[in-house]
Amino acid sequence: MRYPTVALLRVLCAILAFSIWSPSADAAPSLDDLRASGAVGERYDGYAVVRAQGADAGIRSLVDSVNAKRRGIYEERAKKQGVASQEVGKVYALEIAGKAPPGTWLLGEDGKWVQKK
């Protein structure tokens, strides 16, 4: 069994204390609709991904915008905590998955997709 590192525990505590991630009010319903439809999924690293082949530019733009905001948050938190932004993203991925609507597809580190019930 692997035990979390001290740095990862600090990140977890900071997230619980500040709980700063939430999509913008105007993007959240659209992102939720896309996730519920299966057109967009969530990855293990805290980033959204377009799943629908041939998705239009609007969907890709929304996902790019969401990911840019998330990247900024992860980098900011990582700098404050002295850890890699990838570690912060993985912690946030758990929170994102928990808040995602039923039907959202989640991509694990093993490359397998599972659908949230």
Tens digit of pLDDT per residue, the chain (117 long)? 455 565 555 554 445 444 444 444 443 347 989 998 899 999 999 999 999 888 889 999 999 999 999 999 999 999 999 999 999 999 999 999 999 989 999 999 999 999 999
Residues 6+ apart with CB under 8 A from 115: 38, 103, 104, 105, 106
Q: How far apart are CA 90 and CA 62, in angstroms?
A: 21
DSSP state of 2: P
What lies within 8 Å, CB to CB, of 82 at 6+ separation is 7, 10
Its pTM stands at 0.74
What is the bridge-based pairing of β-strands 105-107 and 40-43? parallel
The tokens 């977890």 sit on which residue?
12
Distances in Å between the Cα of 38 and the Cα atoms of 47, 50, 79, 106 are: 15, 9, 33, 10
Structure tokens at 109: 């580190």
